[in-house]
Amino acid sequence: MARAAKKKQSTKLIALSSTNKAYEFKKPLEKRIKYQGKEVDIKLHEDPKGFSYIVWKNKKYLLDVIEKKQNRYTIMVNGVWHSFTVETPVSLKRKRYLEQQVDASAAVSIEAPMPGKIVDILVEVGGEVKEGEPIIILEAMKMQNEITSHITGIVQSISVKKGESVMKDDVLIEIKKG
């Protein structure tokens, strides 16, 4: 990945958002972006405390890289985060192709939204769940939180046990759409 991009670093990069929106930048290092059909220069500033910001249309936009894993980025803009993968034209093409190959009816996993302890599991393998239905009780920060399913389907597997501690983003349950 890095090697492929290395050769092309002087050319185009694309930031692909989590909602699949692609933002193209011809030469990001030259700090120029295309906005409403025009090329606009971007000025990156750093204040005396070391905060980075862009002045855009007379407003300050505080920017921060809060997570970065290879080409996966989470950027904070004025306290709101946005996730992207940074792609080259080639890697984007490959990604789009691979996505088409994925079976649309594959199982969806429900992940732990925060670290905590599993207090109760409210579903069984093979059981039916409806969207919005509580499936697991997770204790975190001294609160018992109901983890709900965001899809309707059949429980395919349960990866955790009662009393087990989980980390953020650990897969708890897999649900097959139906």
Of positions 66, 90, 125, 167, contacts other proteins by CB under 8 A: 66
Minimum CB–partner distance for residue 133 and other proteins (Å): 12
Please list the residues that pair with 3 across neighbouring strands: none
Residue 105 interacts with other proteins (CB under 8 A): yes or no: no
Residue 58 interacts with other proteins (CB under 8 A): yes or no: no
Of positions 14, 107, 151, 154, contacts other proteins by CB under 8 A: 14
Minimum CB–partner distance for residue 104 and other proteins (Å): 25
Please list the residues that pair with 108 across neighbouring strands: 175
The vertex-165 CA angle with 164 and 171, nearest 5°, equals 90
Of positions 78, 105, 157, 165, contacts other proteins by CB under 8 A: 78
As a residue count, the chain comes to 178
Minimum CB–partner distance for residue 159 and other proteins (Å): 19
Cα separation, 157 vs 172, whole angstroms: 9
Torsion of CA 170, 172, 176, 178, to 10 degrees: -120
Residue 86 interacts with other proteins (CB under 8 A): yes or no: yes
Distance of CA 83 to the CA centre of its chain: 5
Minimum CB–partner distance for residue 1 and other proteins (Å): 9
Residue 70 interacts with other proteins (CB under 8 A): yes or no: yes
String of contacts with other proteins for each residue 115-154, x by CB under 8 A:
x---x-----------------x-xxxxxx----------
Residue 69 interacts with other proteins (CB under 8 A): yes or no: yes
Cα separation, 147 vs 117, whole angstroms: 12
- Helix, strand, or coil here: 98? helix
Cα separation, 170 vs 85, whole angstroms: 21
Residue 171 interacts with other proteins (CB under 8 A): yes or no: no
Residue 170 interacts with other proteins (CB under 8 A): yes or no: no
Q: Which two tokens stand for residue 59?
A: 């407003």
Total number of residues that touch other proteins (CB under 8 A): 59
